[in-house]
Chain A
Amino acid sequence: MTQTVNSPHFKENARKALDDVFLQQALARSEKGFIERRKAAVEKLPEYDALRDSARDLKDHILAHLDLYLEVYEKNVIASGGHVHWATTAEEANEIILGICQRLNAKTVAKGKSMISEETGLNAYLKKHGIRPIETDLGEYIIQLRGETPSHLIAPALHVTKEQIEADFRRAHTGLPPERNLDEPTSLLAEARAMLREKFLAADVGITGANFLIAETGSSVIVTNEGNGDLTQTLAKAHIVISSIEKVVPTREDAATFLRLLARTASGLDLSVYTTFSTGARRAGDPDGPLEYHVVLLDNGRSNMLGGKFQDMLRCIRCGACMNHCPVFHAVGGHAYGWVYPGPMGAVLTPSLVGVEKGGQLPNASTFCGRCEEVCPVRIPLPKLMRNWREREFELHLQPAAARYGLGLWAAFARRPAIYRATTSLAMKFLRLFGGKGRFRALPLAGGWTRHRDFPAPQGETFQSLWRKRSQKR
Chain B
Amino acid sequence: MSDKAPAATRKPIRVGLFATCLVDLIRPRIGFASAKLLEDAGCAVEVPLQTCCGQPAFNSGDRKTARELAAQAIEAFEQYDYTVLPSGSCAGQVIVHYPELFEGNAAWEPRAKALAAKTFELTVFLNDVLKVTPSARFDGAVTYHDSCSGLRELGIKAQPRKLLANVEGLNLVEMKDPDVCCGFGGTFCVKYPDVSNKIVEKKTANIAASGAGTLLAGDLGCLMNMAGKLSREGKEIRVRHIAEVLAGMTGEPAIGEPER
Question: Contact residues of A with B, CB < 8 Å?
Answer: 11, 14-15, 18, 327-328, 330-332, 364-371, 373-374, 387, 389-395, 399, 403, 407, 410-411, 413-415, 417-418, 420-421, 424, 427-428, 432, 436-439, 441, 446-449, 451-464, 466-467
Contacts and interface: CB of A to CB of B under 8 A. Distances in A.
A453 B25 contact: no
Which 6 A-B residue pairs are closest in the complex by CB-CB distance? A367-B185, A390-B61, A453-B228, A448-B190, A394-B61, A463-B28
Contact of A462 (B28, B58, B181): B28
B32 A466 contact: yes
A451 B193 contact: yes
Interface string B127-153: 000000000000000000000110111
A459 to B, nearest CB: 5
Contacts of B114: none
12 contacts: A328-B192, A330-B202, A366-B185, A369-B152, A395-B61, A407-B62, A436-B258, A446-B190, A459-B28, A463-B23, A463-B28, A464-B24
Contacts of B6: none
Contacts of A332: 195, 198
Given A370-B149, A390-B61, A411-B65, 9 more contacts: A367-B181, A367-B199, A369-B185, A371-B180, A387-B58, A403-B60, A453-B200, A456-B224, A462-B24
Interface stretch (B47-55, B104-112, B158-166, B167-175): B47-55
Residue of B35, B52, B180, B198 with most partner-chain A CB within 10 A: B198
Contacts of A453: 197, 200, 225, 228-229, 231-232
Interface stretch (B77-85, B115-123, B211-219, B249-257): B249-257
Interface in B18-56: 19, 21, 23-32, 35, 47, 49-52, 54, 56
B57 interface: yes
A395 B195 CA distance: 26
B194 interface: yes
A414 B259 contact: no
Contact of B152 (A373, A449, A467): A373
A202 to B, nearest CB: 44
A364 B57 CA distance: 13
B148 A439 contact: no
Interface string B236-247: 000000000000
Contact of B231 (A370, A414, A439, A463): A439
Nearest to B231: A454
Contact of B227 (A367, A437, A456): A456
Contacts of B185: 366-369
B195 A18 contact: yes
Contacts of B183: 327, 367
B31 A467 contact: yes
B195 A365 contact: yes
Contacts of B188: 364-368
Contacts of A387: 58-59, 61
A428 B27 CA distance: 10
B189 A449 contact: yes
Query: B interface, by DSSP: helix, strand, loop or mixed?
Result: helix
A45 B50 CA distance: 47
B184 interface: yes
Contacts of A456: 26-27, 224, 227-228, 231, 255-256
B27 A467 contact: no
Given A367-B184, A403-B191, A460-B259, A411 B57 contact: yes
Interface residues of B, number: 71
Nearest to A412: B65
A418 to B, nearest CB: 7
Nearest to B201: A452
Contact of A14 (B57, B65, B195, B227): B195
B196 interface: yes
A367 B27 CA distance: 23
A327 B25 contact: no
A64 B199 CA distance: 39
Nearest to B253: A438
B187 interface: yes
A371 B29 CA distance: 31
B192 A371 contact: no
B75 to A, nearest CB: 10
A345 B220 CA distance: 29
Nearest to B258: A438
A413 B51 CA distance: 8
B259 A438 contact: yes
Interface in B77-108: none
Contacts of A393: 61
B69 interface: yes
A417 B72 contact: yes
B252 to A, nearest CB: 9
A458 B198 CA distance: 25
A71 B16 CA distance: 58
B256 A370 contact: no
Residue of B51, B148, B199, B257 with most partner-chain A CB within 10 A: B51
A392 B228 contact: no
A377 B198 CA distance: 28
B256 A327 contact: no
A256 to B, nearest CB: 30
B152 A428 contact: no
A373 B96 CA distance: 15
A198 to B, nearest CB: 42
Nearest to A363: B61
Given A438-B253, A457-B256, A369 B191 contact: no
B72 A458 contact: no
Contacts of A458: 25-27
A461 B28 contact: yes
A424 B195 CA distance: 30
Contacts of A461: 28
B29 A459 contact: yes
A459 B19 CA distance: 15
Given A332-B195, A365-B195, A327 B228 contact: no
